[in-house]
Each structure stands twice: as C-alpha cells, then as structure tokens.
Chains A and B, each alone.
Chain A
Amino acid sequence: MIAIIDYGVGNLFSLKSSLAYVGADACVTGDSEKIKTADKIILPGVGAFGDAVKKLKDARLDEVIVSEAKKGKPIMGICLGMQILFDKSFEYGEYSGLGLIKGEIRPISDVIGENLKVPHIGWNSLKFTDKKSKIFKYINDGDFVYFVHSYYASNCVESVIANAEYGANLTAAVQCGNVYGCQFHPEKSGNTGLNILRAFCEKGE
C-alpha cells in the first residue's frame, strides 16, 4: 500500500486518481500508524514552504516521515513535497525542512534572468543527468512534464537525476537512496507522469 500523506495542503484528488490508474493500492492518510505500515510514501504539497512544514510538524508527521525514510522505505516528494525533503528553504524567510536530501530551496528568479516569467509554469522537457534512477525506467530523456513553481532546489548536484532548462538548469528530479523527489507534477504530466508513478509504485526494492 502507498500512503499519500494528507496534512491539509493541496489537492490530493488527481494524485489519488493517477495512482489508481497505474494500478497502485493507495490511501490518502494523515494517520502515522497507517504511514508506518505502508510500503511506500508519497509526500505531496502545494503552497508556501514555511506554512506546509508547520502543518506537517503540528500533525507530528515530520518525525514519522524521517524515521520511515531512515529505515529505507521509498518516499517520493512532489513539488513542495519534494522541497520539504531538503535541509532548508528561503521562501519568505528561512525555514528548516526534513533534511533527508542535502541542499536548499531558493527563488528561481536568482538564476533564470529577468526576461522569463515567474512562476515557471507549463510543460518542459527533462534532461537526465548521469545518475540513473529507477523512477525513469519507463520514460525517456527529453520527455515533457508539467511544472508550476517559483522556487528550486540548489546545491544538491549529487542528488539530481534530471534538470529542466528555463533560463538555467533547474532541478527537476532528485534521488538520494530511497528518497525521491519531483519538482514537477507527475499526476498532471500525462503518460510520462503516470509512467514515473508506475515505476515508483512497483513492488520490489
């Protein structure tokens, strides 16, 4: 069973539907016992970093996620959920994340140049790095996925498995052992996104 963590941020409807579509047994839950018994965890998230981390902590789910990750359980963060897995963020202040991936979250406006719009919204292609990841086993370098974000993960070159070109190479996906993250929305990225979720949800490992 895949636990989609519900901590009061974002719309989990599409994520739940897309997991059902790829045949994964998933439940939306904020119950730490259920999260502990799940085979895998997905941490979604939309909104502001500080607020989301606070909600996660208020529900005491931060400790559960960190301890399950350290036991080796596969975890995937999506969009803000990915950012929360990092050490810290500079979105409207400075906030600590869960520290499962080394690096920090910074405004894309720092690197993309003045001509480009913020947020980075729309379909962009993935550029794989040399690091191979099992979540990309059913997709190809150059496939398109859907992004909506104004902040990006920086100083994390050792974890980056794909970038997206938007005035700069923005971190699109990361993997650090059993911890995965997608800056884009696989649940909104058509077949490519579904194939990423399919690969993550597959039994084994």
Chain B
Amino acid sequence: MITKRIIPCLDVRDGRVVKGVNFEGLSDVSSPVELAKFYSDNGADELVFYDITASVEGRALFTDILKKVAETIFIPLTVGGGINTVDDFDRVLKCGADKVSVNSGALKNPNLIYEAAKKYGNQCVVISADVKREDGKFTVYAKGGREKTDLEAVSWIKKCVDMGAGEVVLNSIDTDGVKGGFDLEMLDAVCNAVNVPVIASGGAGKKEDFVELFTKIPKADAGLAASIFHFKEVEIPDLKRTLKENGILVRI
C-alpha cells in the first residue's frame, strides 16, 4: 500500500535557506543544495521549495539554485512562491521541478489552475491554502497569511480541485508556529471534501504530532514541516521509525 509522506519545506531567499537552520555535519547550513541533499539522503519522501524572493535578480538566483537542487536529489520536488502565470510554471518545471504550488496567484486568477492542469496535467498542480478561523468559519488568507479574503476555505479548495489541482497543501495559520500539533479539525473538513492527496502543514512540534495526524486523520497523505526538521528537533529517520511502530506505513 501507499505510504504516508514526510516533507521538509525549505524557504529560499536570495539563494539561501531562511528561517532557522541548525545542522551539524554540513559545511554550509544555509545552502539549499546541501540541505536538500541531506534531507533526500535521510528519508525525506519529497521536498518543497518556496521562493520568497522579492526582486527579479533574486528570482534568477532562485532558478539557478533550483536547477542545482534538481540535479542533486532524486525524489519529487515541489516548487512554490511567486507563481502567477503559466509561464511561471514553465520556468520552474524547466529547472527540474515536478510539481508547482500556487497560492496567491490562484486567488488572483483561479483560471490559472485550469490552464496549468490542462498543459501539464493535474498531478503537476498543487493548491496551497493558508487558512485561519474567523467567526467560526475557515477563511482563506492571501499573500503569505497577511491579507484576508472573503473565501470560505473548504469550498475554495474544492473549487481548485474541480478546476484541476491534483494535490492540496493545507496550512493552518491558527496552529502554525505553535508546535502544539496539526490542525486536525481543519484537516478533517478538507480531507472529507476532496479526493486528492492532502498535505498537512502548520503545527508540528514533535514526532507524536505526526502519529496523531495519521492516526486521527487517516485520509491525510503527508505531513509537512520546516523549522523542526531544520533545527533537528525532529529527525526524519527517527520520526519514521516511530510512525512505523505505531502501525503507520512509511518508506524506510
């Protein structure tokens, strides 16, 4: 049977990994290439790369780094950040990305999902949603969680899947950074609404949070996290052993 996936996420700005990184055994901990290789060699099932560069020069540097990463790792690679047009899809796919994650770009122009899925296939288009509770409703936020929209999250995500998104990254703003576990209630609502893989993001602080995720939300396909892996608070081989001991199928 298919295994549950563990996905480290690397935020890259001006060619470097940002957010805290605390690694021993790597000569340059902020090099996305070295870090990606480390994760690939140490049990990550997939990698997500976010381009949080603002400038055009930074974007060119990102593409350069992306190519080097894609040459170095032999696991699936998803790229997001600043994807607004089909040309942006083309740009990162040519550098070796397997999937492209859209967020604000799809909010501005939902048709982007349809156009990209038609051109590259549903499996290539990942809808990433930043979601927060507002008056008891799951509300979608744009621009990295800074801007509130009028959209209700479950219906928005369902619409994206209907338009061709082949995978969902659900990032709960409410649990993000709190390290108290994934947002099970939000994940449950989304997992029950769509029939494509759902990647849980936001809230993981320890191994047990992943055990709880996959035990309580069996429909969740993957768990994504950044700093807990970068800081070695959770090490992937150890995490996978724990998941396996708890009867959760993982690739070891």
| A and B from one complex | yes
Q: Which residues of A contact B (CB under 8 A)?
A: 11, 13-14, 17-18, 21, 46-48, 117-125, 144, 146-148, 165-166, 187-191, 193-194
Which of A47, A121, A125, A188 is the one whose CB lies under 8 Å from B74?
A: A188
Q: Which residues of B contact A (CB under 8 A)?
A: 1-3, 5, 40, 45, 67, 70-72, 74-76, 93-98, 120-124, 166-167, 195-197, 221-222, 251
Given contacts A13-B96, A189-B74, 5 further A-B contacts (CB under 8 A): A11-B93, A13-B94, A14-B96, A123-B5, A191-B74
| Complex CA–CA separation, A121 to B3 (angstroms) | 10
Count of A-B contacts judged by CB separation below 8 Å: 83
Asked if B96 and A146 make an inter-chain contact with CB atoms under 8 angstroms apart, the answer reads no
**What residues of A have a CB within 8 angstroms of the CB of B124 in the complex?**
46
Interface residues of A, dominant DSSP: mixed
Return the chain A residue nearest B44 by Cβ.
A190
**What residues of A have a CB within 8 angstroms of the CB of B5 in the complex?**
122-123
Q: How far is the CB of B160 from chain A (nearest CB, A)?
A: 16
Evaluate whether A166 and B1 lie within 8 angstroms (CB atoms) in the complex, with A11-B96, A119-B122 already known: yes
Asked if B123 and A121 make an inter-chain contact with CB atoms under 8 angstroms apart, the answer reads yes
Which of B71, B75, B93, B221 is the one whose CB lies under 8 Å from A146?
A: B75
**What residues of A have a CB within 8 angstroms of the CB of B221 in the complex?**
117, 121-122
Evaluate whether A119 and B166 lie within 8 angstroms (CB atoms) in the complex, with A188-B75, A190-B74 already known: yes
Evaluate whether A18 and B74 lie within 8 angstroms (CB atoms) in the complex, with A119-B123, A123-B45, A124-B2 already known: yes
| Complex CA–CA separation, A83 to B140 (angstroms) | 40
| Complex CA–CA separation, A119 to B166 (angstroms) | 8
Return the chain B residue nearest A197 by Cβ.
B74
**What residues of A have a CB within 8 angstroms of the CB of B1 in the complex?**
124-125, 165-166
Asked if B123 and A122 make an inter-chain contact with CB atoms under 8 angstroms apart, the answer reads no
Identify 8 residue pairs between A and B in the complex whose beta-carbon atoms are under 8 Å apart, listed by A's number.
A13-B71, A119-B166, A121-B167, A122-B197, A122-B221, A166-B2, A188-B98, A190-B75
Asked if B70 and A14 make an inter-chain contact with CB atoms under 8 angstroms apart, the answer reads yes
Which of B3, B67, B75, B197 is the one whose CB lies under 8 Å from A117?
A: B197
Asked if B2 and A146 make an inter-chain contact with CB atoms under 8 angstroms apart, the answer reads no
**What residues of B have a CB within 8 angstroms of the CB of A46 in the complex?**
120-121, 123-124
| Complex CA–CA separation, A47 to B70 (angstroms) | 21
Asked if B3 and A123 make an inter-chain contact with CB atoms under 8 angstroms apart, the answer reads yes
Return the chain B residue nearest A189 by Cβ.
B74
Q: How far is the CB of A92 from chain B (nearest CB, A)?
A: 12
Asked if B98 and A17 make an inter-chain contact with CB atoms under 8 angstroms apart, the answer reads no
**What residues of B have a CB within 8 angstroms of the CB of A117 in the complex?**
195-197, 221
Asked if B96 and A17 make an inter-chain contact with CB atoms under 8 angstroms apart, the answer reads yes
Asked if A144 and B75 make an inter-chain contact with CB atoms under 8 angstroms apart, the answer reads no
Asked if B195 and A148 make an inter-chain contact with CB atoms under 8 angstroms apart, the answer reads no
Asked if A11 and B74 make an inter-chain contact with CB atoms under 8 angstroms apart, the answer reads no
Asked if A148 and B123 make an inter-chain contact with CB atoms under 8 angstroms apart, the answer reads yes
Asked if B45 and A121 make an inter-chain contact with CB atoms under 8 angstroms apart, the answer reads no
Asked if B76 and A146 make an inter-chain contact with CB atoms under 8 angstroms apart, the answer reads yes
| Complex CA–CA separation, A190 to B71 (angstroms) | 12
- Which 7 A-B pairs have CB atoms at the shortest separation, nearest pair first? A144-B251, A13-B96, A123-B251, A17-B71, A122-B2, A148-B123, A123-B3
Evaluate whether A194 and B167 lie within 8 angstroms (CB atoms) in the complex, with A13-B96, A119-B122 already known: no
Q: How far is the CB of B94 from chain A (nearest CB, A)?
A: 7
